[in-house]
Amino acid sequence: MAQENLRIIVIGGGAGGISAASTSKGLLPDASIILFTEFEDVAYSPCGIPFVLGKEIPNFDNLFLQTAEHYAKIGIDLRLQTKVTEINVEDRTVSVGTETFEWDRLVIATGFEYDEPDIPGINLEGIKYVKNIRRAMEFDKELETLKKAVVVCATPLGIEMSGNLAHRGLETHLVDEGGWLMSDIADPDIMEPVKESLEEMGAQMHFGTKVLEFKGTNGKVTSVVTSNGEIECDVVVIAAHKKPNNSLSQEAGIDLGATGGIVVDDHMRTSVKDIFAAGDCTEIIHGVTEIPIQGLSGSHAYSQGRVAGSNAAENDRAYDPVFIPWGMVGGQVQIGGVSLGETLHKALGIPHVVAFAMGISRARYYPGVTRIRVKLIADPTTKKVLGAQMSGGEGIKERADFLAFVIKRGVTLDELAWMENVYSPPIGALMEPIALAAQAGLRELAK
Amino acid sequence: MAFGHWLRKNAEKHLQEAAADDLMSRYPESCEEPYREKGLDHFFWRNIFVPVYLMIPWSIRKKIILASSYPGGNRPHWKKYN
């Protein structure tokens, strides 16, 4: 039986924190739940911000999933703009300035921060990060008068911002040190259509280019100096990699892993009893390699928050290792995948075979048909599918979801090669592109 | 920065660079020449660490990665799918 009048404190109001608080409250209505966030808002989708800035979504109100009043109504004590300054593990308290709050269970969901580049001029006005919805609202107003933007780093956010700023009519430059878009995680052949699409929209790519300095006049950025020349601009968007926001946890002596994320088990328990963690501040086990990884998606943070909140409320719920289905739109192209692609299999040195095919999304003769590239990565001995990457005009997200389940269940190329599939001219081709890729992989292995 | 974190950060960066060079040769039409930092430390990682790492069989390498990820030996419990 659960302890009476359990006191649960949640630090962080993003997807992980808010879902933890809501889940705990749902399971233990009599528990005291306090959620602290240093920000002005909770329960909004930061993933939608680039699309409001690009005028694809009409306004920021659409991004709010719930109101602060809703949480008050269900009995969650929401402390907005309230920064926790210390976690005391021995006293089982958190400090907010000079005030302390006791807890029976603590859920840490402190999320991420951007890896701010150590570049001269980084503090000039006009250098933006995309995360906080209030700052985004201010940025949106500024964009009415801005003409030239530089986006630094071709990460998923960098690609979304480049496409959306170009869509909004700004002269947009995307600068990255790598040789292609998202070169840390995606394969060049898969990203090629995205590059073409962004260029068609007017965005200019600068690959193999390092940012050396931000120059400004009267404290405001006016150009970006790079290893390949200087680019004039009114605004810079830093789309750098995310790192876990864990200074509080580190100071409290909670174990952090090699990724910088909090080490958790499959119940989201940290190294300290009665302290749980969820979301981007944690490191989670990758289902294929069993290696800890950090920096997943909002849907992962949401699910982890539910597990952490459930177990903080004295339930027994486990979270599975992740296989990471992912997807996004770059320009007008959908891209996605599961687990690791060819680049990362090669980087880790995992033996693999590449199974590639080009298919179509509908019947060949049906209007709106688009091409789909499917690349499967498989174990050459067992033929089990280990990863996938895809790009095309439609149907990528559904295939990524399907393949995540396939990989989790240890399905082989043989089973995929002769899979059943929907054939209906408006929505599905006779030959499923995933099956075509699997067949190509089997031919490769038979050589 | 803890040793495990430092090791992982540098290993990841240089292994990804080596993999990117490999993929550039497979898909030259889809790539441009990347920017590469210079210096003795990068020379070590590229020319000594990466080749030695890739010579070790994956099954042993994985054990080393996991051991360096949990130097205290306190590996948390997670379900296995392999």
Of B35, B5, B12, B17, the closest CA to residue A283 belongs to B5
Examine the pLDDT at A76 and tell me if it is beyond 90.
yes
pLDDT band at A3 (very low <50, low <70, confident <90, very high): low
Closest approach of A293 to chain B, Cα-based (Å): 10
The count of CB pairs under 8 A between chains A and B is 124
Residue of B nearest to A182 (CA): B20
Q: Where are the beta strands (DSSP E) in A208-290?
A: 211-217, 220-226, 229-232, 235-238, 242-244, 262-263, 275-277, 282-285
Q: What is the mean pLDDT of residues A93-120?
A: 96
- Give dist(CA A23, CA A312) in Å, integer: 9
Kindly provide the ipTM of the predicted complex, given to two decimals. 0.94
CB < 8 Å to B80, chain A: 290, 321
pLDDT band at A1 (very low <50, low <70, confident <90, very high): low
What is the per-residue pLDDT across A281-291, written as a single tens digit (0 to 9) for each? Answer: 999 999 999 99
Q: Do B18 and A347 touch (CB under 8 A)?
A: yes
CB < 8 Å to B79, chain A: 266, 318, 320-321
Q: How far is CA A157 from CA A46, A48, A51, B52, in A?
A: 11, 11, 11, 34
- Give dist(CA A200, CA B29) in Å, integer: 18
Which of A187, A258, A289 is facing B68, going by the closest CB pair? A258
pLDDT band at A5 (very low <50, low <70, confident <90, very high): confident
Pairing state of beta strands A333-339 and A325-330? antiparallel
Closest approach of A230 to chain B, Cα-based (Å): 16
Q: What is the mean pLDDT of residues A255-279?
A: 96
**Greater pLDDT, B3 or B71:** B3
A247 interfaces chain B, CB cutoff of 8 Å = no
B27 interfaces chain A, CB cutoff of 8 Å = yes
Model pLDDT, residue B4: 84
Q: What is the mean pLDDT of residues A370-377?
A: 97
Phi, psi (degrees; rounded to nearest 5) at A334: -90, 135
Q: Do B22 and A350 touch (CB under 8 A)?
A: no
- Give dist(CA A385, CA A354) in Å, integer: 10
CB < 8 Å to A258, chain B: 2, 4-5, 7-8, 68-69
- The mean predicted confidence, pLDDT, of chain A is 96
Residues 28-57 of B with CB under 8 A from A: 29-35, 53-54, 56
The alpha carbon dihedral of A375, A376, A378, A380 has a sign of: negative
What is the per-residue pLDDT across B5-38, written as a single tens digit (0 to 9) for each? Answer: 899 999 999 999 999 999 999 999 999 999 999 9
- The mean predicted confidence, pLDDT, of chain B is 92
CB < 8 Å to A344, chain B: 16, 19
In chain A, the percentage of residues whose pLDDT exceeds 90 is 97
Examine the pLDDT at B68 and tell me if it is beyond 90.
no
Examine the pLDDT at A2 and tell me if it is beyond 70.
no
Model pLDDT, residue A299: 94
Q: What is the largest CA-CA distance in chain B?
A: 46
**Greater pLDDT, A221 or A67:** A221
Tokens coding B35: 């920017």
Residue of A nearest to B72 (CA): A255
Residues found in chain B = 82
Examine the pLDDT at B82 and tell me if it is beyond 70.
no
Closest approach of A195 to chain B, Cα-based (Å): 9
Q: Do B77 and A266 touch (CB under 8 A)?
A: yes
CA angle A388, A392, A398 (to 5 degrees): 60
